[in-house]
Amino acid sequence: IAISDPTQLIANGVATILNSEKAVGQIADLAQKEEVVRIVVGMPYSADGGKGKKAMEVDEFIALLKTVTPTEIDTWDESYSSVQAHAAFVQIGMKKKKRQQKYRVDEMAARLMLQEYLDNKKQK
């Protein structure tokens, strides 16, 4: 999970929430606690830009999330976000053992994805 600063300029990784039955409630609670104005969910588009099985699961997740939070929900292409996270870890010199920890990769991928989303919104 990543959250932007109040100016919506900088994304910060804040937590990792496991994909479980509790995830929807945990995200809704975090959104309320942090006074989030928009939730951005990563959409795993296929290489041709279409929606495969994973993307359909994300659509179902978003539908559930909409039942527990009034917060606006948007999607953003998360393609290659894990690859970008690994590259960022290599660039900062993180040891291989640490950069292979899934929670670290997931948090960095979320931060990078949100930053890309914020940067794109800034340009419009």
For residue 35, name the pLDDT band (cuts at 50, 70, 90). Answer: very high
- What are the structural domains of the chain? 2-123 (3.30.420.140)
C-alpha span between 70 and 120 (Å, rounded): 24
SS3 label, residue 7: coil
Report the share of the chain in percent with pLDDT over 70. 100
Global pTM value:
0.85
Strands (E), 1-124: 2-4, 11-13, 38-43, 72-77
Whether 55 has a pLDDT exceeding 80, the answer reads yes
Higher pLDDT, 43 or 99: 43
C-alpha span between 92 and 66 (Å, rounded): 37
State pLDDT tens for residues 23-33. 999 999 999 99
Q: Which residues contact 85 (CB under 8 A, 6 or more apart)?
A: 104, 105, 106, 108, 109, 112
For residue 12, name the pLDDT band (cuts at 50, 70, 90). Answer: very high
